[in-house]
Structure formats: structure tokens, C-alpha cells
Structure 1
């Protein structure tokens, strides 16, 4: 997993990428030419002050990192937090990330078990 940091890359995903949403998160995704997936995070000021936004970003980064082995390489992703994100547990965030990745078709885990379960 690499971080997606360039404003040009964010703009490309927003304009050309596909979108999947749930009640907590929005996932923008688009194929890239790399052997890894890159991920960026977007947290609006609507969520609260900087302390709250940074906490949400840290939890999102860790949620994506926890399922990174099951995400298909060769794509760029942007995970955007919705306002309800600030009031949920870490495990609810992990579940929301898994839900979006599965619905986008980027989930490559062989089993249909929950995130973190390894055979």
C-alpha cells in the first residue's frame, strides 16, 4: 500500500474514477499502471475541529491497512469520510471499508469471512 498524495492524482480520481458509497464512507477508485494500490484519504471540515479530523484519518488509515492484503493491486483509491464517521467504533470503520472494497470489485480474498480472519 502506498499513499496517494498528489493533488493531480486526487483530481483525476474525482473526475474519471468510479464511486461506491455507504453510510460512513465514499470510495473513489480507478485503475493505475502500478503493481500496488495507492490510497488517499479525504476528511471534510464538516466532521469537526482538527483533532477530530486527524483522529478519523488515523483510524481510516489503520482500517485500510488492516485489509490491505485483500485489496487488488493496480488501483488508486480515495476514501472519503462522511460526518457519521466520527461517532462509530474502529471495527465499524473496518466493516465499512470492507463493504466498499467488495462492492467495487477490488476484494481478492478467497473466503467471504470478515476482515482480519486468516486461514
Structure 2
């Protein structure tokens, strides 16, 4: 009498790996519930932003760096130099400032350059909200940034951001005053209006 013996394996089969094909997860649906609760309005807004739009304030593209160098003017601080240039904002880009860093080989070995970039990025991430204008900024730190006191470095970046924002505010105010002056010279409706004291003193 023949008996068919069937061997049952108790071990789980190894998963099949597909090489060259990344797993794509579906986008979160409205009202979806995560481990920590339902999606908030901010998370819904982020989910609707295209993938190629960065959610942080870093300047990434080489073309953007070149535009800042071309349209801006080199400014100097005690331990770094910097450029900045305003930009137009459309539906596919986030408003507000974008900041880029350069750390070439002149600053030292890779360990030293990485230390400089880490310190600068930490300060920029916490202080970039001081600038509200749609402007691109490129910072060129010097080698001394690697060893200088952190609080002193942060104060210098704060001064740079404050200077940029103040300069841009003055430029917008000057453009507005020039427009009003042109209307006055043409005999427009603002010709007979008195000039405010703060405008007259600026």
C-alpha cells in the first residue's frame, strides 16, 4: 500500500523583491485617520502641493543661484559675504525667502565644510522667518564660522536678515512715493492731497 506523504513547511516564504520598481503609496484622502488622529487643514494643504515644490526655505537650483549673483550685489559682513535678489512668485512656488549656502574647498576639508554648513543651516532654519519678502539670499561663510562662538554667529545672521528686510521695505516705500509724485505732476486726483508727516520726513 502506497502512502503519499506531504511535507508542510512551517517557515514563512521569503518576500519577493522587485528590483528597479519603487513602491508608490496613494495620496492621503480627505478625512483619512492616521495613528495620531485625522488629517488637519495644514496637512491637506501640503498634500495638494506638487511634489517638485520644496516645503522649506532652501535655495536649491543652480539657475537660481546664478540669477541672484547676476541681479544682486555683493554685500559684506564680519564673517561672511552675501547676495540677495527679489523674485516673482507664481502658483507653483512658495512665497517668502529662500536661502542658499556655499562652502567651497577653500574653507577646508570636508569635515570642516560640513561643520560650517550644519551651523549655518541650524541658524537659518530658526531665523529665516525674520524675512517676509519674496527674496532669494545666498550666504558665503568664511572659514572662521567653523570655530566662532555660536551665539555670535547667530547674531550676525540676524543682522543680515534684518538688513535685507529693511532695505526691501525702503525700496517698496520709495516706489510708492515715486508713483504718487508722478500722479501729482500729471495733475491727478492726488495732487491736492496733503502729504503725511511720516512720508514727508522719509
TM band (smaller chain): 0.7 to 0.9
Distance in 1 (alpha carbons) for counterparts of 2:155 and 2:106:
22
Alignment of 1:1-119 (within 5 A): 1-34=56-89, 35-106=95-166
- Which runs of 5 or more residues in structure 2 are unaligned? 1-55, 90-94, 168-202
SS of residue in 2 equivalent to 1:43: coil
Does the CA-based 8 Å contact 2:130-2:162 persist in structure 1?
Answer: no
State the TM-score, normalizing by the size of structure 1: 0.80
- Which runs of 5 or more residues in structure 1 are unaligned? 108-119
Distance in 2 (alpha carbons) for counterparts of 1:106 and 1:71:
9
SS of residue in 2 equivalent to 1:79: strand
Does the CA-based 8 Å contact 1:24-1:84 persist in structure 2?
Answer: yes
Which structure has more RCO (C-alpha within 8 Å, separation ≥ 6)?
A: 1
Superposed CA RMSD in Å reads: 1.9
Q: How many residues align structurally?
A: 108
State the TM-score, normalizing by the size of structure 2: 0.49
Greater CA radius of gyration, 1 or 2?
2
Does the CA-based 8 Å contact 2:145-2:153 persist in structure 1?
Answer: yes
